Structure 1
Amino acid sequence: MSKKVRVPSAKLEGRSASMRLAGRHPKLPRIKNGRAHLATDPVLPDWRITCFFSGKGYRGKGVASAALAGALEQIEKLGGGRVEGYPEDTEGRKVSGSFLINGALSTFERQGFARLRPIGKHKWVVTRTVP
């Protein structure tokens, strides 16, 4: 795949409820905390899942989980590989939606991602291999 994937990921009541952005590393070269990320692990992933958006009124209803599952299914169909995400750890605190643009850590962990290392106060690099 030579392009990033940006598609509506979940529909509820006929309306787009969620969107996610995923792609191979060269197509998504810039990430927030990128310097911290590269300083601790210069080995780049095959895929990055970098952006989630759940429309107002759909938050807290599992659409981000559905979007992540959909991205992983697409990655598997495209040959799989090492996948990284950069979610926010929300445990024990209330978090503004603007901090969740990369998703919540718990969402990734439920999909089998493992914490690799922190790259910010509450931000983690998580990884999973998709066959």
Structure 2
Amino acid sequence: MNRPGFDVKPLTPERWSDLEDLFGPQGPCYGCWCNHFRMPQRLRKPLLGDGARQLFEDRVKKGPPPGVLAYADGKAVGWLQVGPRVDVPEWNNPHRASTPLPDAPAEDARNWAASCFFVRRGFRGRGVTGALIEGAVAFARESGARLIEAAAMDNEEKRSAEGLYVGAESTLLRAGFVEVARQKPGRPLLRLVL
């Protein structure tokens, strides 16, 4: 799972400290620690910060890996939460851009979601997201997934880095994803069949 300049590896318990270093003491996205799509807001919000960090660390220790890390010179520079849709139940809610389609139900663990991206400052715009997607595709294939979906942002040039935590449409299209639905304005549901 390598792209020139980047090495992409699944997030295993041994790599937890690399993720902590990447996310920083507060965690990305206002202390979410990649729990946004894992539980309803009423349960998630009181945990923001240390509680969310502990919850996600416990998830990583339990396994299987909930995503992949991109490394440059041995330092984690990017993260992509990717795995079965069933692991991110809030991503599957009706009325979301990521609502599952009938031909790819959330209950089928072979249907995967690329739900959260994060790239370290100083590395944005340098191909980290593309490397993460390539690594995620390899990881998904090795894990028996049949497809990966992402509910990306279009017009990404107008979005902040935080606003692009769901991924940029143009990067996913370059990686071979195709639009299969547009359930919300500005948020295409993109799919790559493996």
Fold similarity call, TM over 0.5: yes
**Residue 101 of structure 1 is aligned with which of 148, 160, 165?**
165
Deviation at 1:55, TM superposition (A): 0.6
CA contact 1:80–1:129 (8 Å) conserved in 2: no
- Give the superposed CA RMSD: 2.2
Distance 2:100 2:82 in 1: 22
Matching residue of 1:64: 129
Moved over 3 A (4+): 37-40
CA distance 1:50–1:39, shift in 2 (3 Å): closer
- 1:84 counterpart = 2:149: yes
Matching residue of 2:77: 17
Matched to 2:82, the amino acid is: A
Distance 2:180 2:99 in 1: 14
Structure 1: any 5+ residue segments left out of the alignment? none
Distance 2:100 2:158 in 1: 28
Deviation at 1:117, TM superposition (A): 1.4
- 1:26 counterpart = 2:91: no
Q: Given the two structures, how large is their TM-score scaled by the length of structure 1?
A: 0.84
Q: Given the two structures, how large is their TM-score scaled by the length of structure 2?
A: 0.58
Structure 2: any 5+ residue segments left out of the alignment? 1-62
The higher-RCO structure (CA 8 Å, 6+ apart) is 1
**Residue 94 of structure 2 is aligned with which of 25, 35, 51?**
35
- SS class of match (1:53): strand
CA contact 1:4–1:27 (8 Å) conserved in 2: no
- How many residues align? The count is 126
Deviation at 1:22, TM superposition (A): 0.8
CA contact 1:52–1:64 (8 Å) conserved in 2: yes
Higher helix share: 2
- SS class of match (1:72): helix
- Based on CA coordinates, which of the two structures has the bigger radius of gyration? 2
- SS class of match (1:103): coil
Higher strand share: 1
Distance 1:60 1:39 in 2: 29
